[in-house]
Structure 1
Amino acid sequence: MCLAPGGASAAFYRGLAQHIGPGIEVVAAQYPGRQDRLGDPLITDLPELAGEIAADLLNLPPTPRALFGHSMGATVAYEVARRLAADGRPVRELIVSGRPAPDFVETGLLHKASDAELIDHLERLAADPAPVRLLRTEPGLAELVLPGLRADYQAVETYRHRPGSVLNCPVTAFVSTEDPTTSLAQAEQWQTVTDGPFSLCTFPGGHFYFDDEPRVVAEAITRCLT
């Protein structure tokens, strides 16, 4: 199961999913306020969002399950994994990408920034800023995208890790060499969330590094799971 970064929908992982190896079913969580859930109230509390996703998974038949999350989705995936483990349904693997370990405290206040400042921030992170610029010229599109983005930034910026029992599943952290949001040292700190095996994979590129090479990242995920 894939957990999206801030402001994104389940469709964010479509390109990556197309390259995942055989025998692995790829699904993605759809956060409220996106696409087919556009009318659902936005959630601005990250543990609440993780709790809803975990509850949905616990209602499904037991099956070997792994979680992959990028950026905000990494922290969501971690919190979902904690809840599943507490209910006796631990995940097979947790793969986190482009995000510092959970005890990192986000000091930014982008959720209180203007729409223009939010768009500026997105442009700096994007592998291709051209689609982001449409938010300046297409007000209807901005009205659809920015509320969810702002809610997600509030969830990330107000999140505080609550210490508790650690996971015992394998954890793999992905980090790119030019990501302005996550350093190699910060990615390595994910080893503290588990008593199980930990590994670190690095990739070239910026924050959305797998936009350019989805096949390479998908192959790394496939290796983790097989």
Structure 2
Amino acid sequence: MRQTTNSATSGAGLARSPWLQRFHPEPDAPVRLVCLPHAGGSASYYHPLSAALRDTFDVLVVQYPGRQNRYTEPPLTSVAALADGVVEALTPWLDRPLVIFGHSMGSLIGFEAARRLTAAGSPPRALVASGRRAPDRHRDGDIHRRDDAGVLAEMRRLGGTGTGLLEDPEIRALVLPAIRGDFQATETYRFTPGPPLPCPLLALVGDADPVAELAEVRDWARHTSADFRLRTFPGDHFYLADQFPAVADTVRQHLTALAG
């Protein structure tokens, strides 16, 4: 199943999209895993998870506007607009089942994308929601209205990797608009009631996460009519950085059990 190419597509029948990166193409894999980054995050964050799961999935990683190879594009500032963009980009890839994996803001976008795919008759095989309270558990926030120092202080509080780079004024000028736009998207999101997802839902969280308490994460259970599982890991909001192998094993085992 291993491929040496680093193409962004799996073949001539699939159009390129700036929304999707494909670090380890596995065109023979029976299931595709779609990874959605956190607020301020980019596709490269998921490179370790892609490498760890390439023996099981064809991994597609979402790249939001306003960062890395898309830094010249204005960031989108609503979860709905981001979910719409993700679904449009995924449309050519629906020939195989999709599993959606989102971390933090990516969980919200993944949830809304799963709703859209379900309404269109192509529900995902499963949703994995990491580091995020259930979508109907709203907390007021004003981070996107703060000055640059205030936004940086929140990034440090959450323990995000690479925050030291933000001390460089040039790098900060490049990435802060996307970070602020992402916080605006999550802070202005409001859950709209609707049918629960028909697919299984796996919730993951760090046991010391300051913005996703365990009781709030458990409430993801009411957003699926299928199987719900919860798994905790040692760590804070960005527990993934130290737990990629364990997370990869958990996702692999969970999906293998579903297939069985």
TM-score (norm 2): 0.83
The one of 175, 186, 189 aligned to 1:156:
186
| Alignment match, 1:72 | 105
Q: How does 1:1-226 map to 2 (within 5 A)?
A: 1-20=34-53, 22-126=55-159, 131-136=162-167, 138-226=168-256
CA distance in 2, matches of 1:134, 1:88: 43
SS at match of 1:182: coil
Q: Distance in 2 between matches of 1:75 and 1:40?
A: 22
Deviations 1:184-218 (A, max 9, x none): 11110001111000000110111110211211111
Aligned residue identity for 1:161 = F
Q: CA offsets, 1:131-151, max 9 Å, x none? A: 313312x11100111110000
| CA distance in 2 between partners of 1:160 and 1:127 (Å) | 25
Instruction: Answer yes or no: is the 8 Å Cα contact 1:127–1:206 preserved in 2.
Output: no
- CA distance in structure 2 between the aligned counterparts of 1:45 and 1:127, rounded to whole angstroms: 21
| Aligned-residue identity in percent | 41
Whether the 8 Å CA contact 2:233–2:243 is kept in 1: the answer is: no
Q: CA 1:61–1:97 in structure 2 vs 1: closer, same or farther (change >3 Å)?
A: closer
- Code of the residue aligned with 1:148 in structure 2: it is A
Query: Which segments of structure 1 move beyond 6 Å, counting only runs of 4 or more?
Result: none
Structure 1, unaligned runs of 5 or more: none
Question: Deviation string for 1:134-182 (max 9, x for gaps)?
Answer: 312x111001111100000000000001111211100000011100011
Q: Secondary structure at the match of 2:58?
A: coil
Q: Give the SS at the match of 2:176.
A: helix
**Does the 8 A contact of 1:103 with 1:161 survive in 2?**
yes
Q: Which amino acid aligns with 2:190?
A: R
Q: In 2, Cα distance between the equivalents of 1:35 and 1:198? A: 35
Distance 2:50 2:90 in 1: 19
- Aligned equivalents of 2:160 and 2:123: distance in 1? 34
> How far, CA to CA, are the matches of 2:124 and 2:130 in structure 1?
17
For residues 25 and 186 of structure 1, what CA distance do their matches in structure 2 show?
A: 31
Amino acid at match of 2:208: E
Find the residue that maps to 1:59 and give its secondary structure. Answer: helix
Higher RCO, Cα 8 Å, sep 6+? 1
Cα distance in structure 1, aligned partners of 2:194 and 2:160: 36
- Aligned partners of 2:115 and 2:197 also within 8 Å: yes
Number of aligned residues = 223
Q: Tell me if structure 2 keeps the 8 A contact 1:119–1:133.
A: no
Structure 1 residues 207-216 or 74-83, which shifts more? Answer: 207-216
CA distance in 2, matches of 1:39, 1:79: 26
Write the letter of the residue equivalent to 2:171.
L
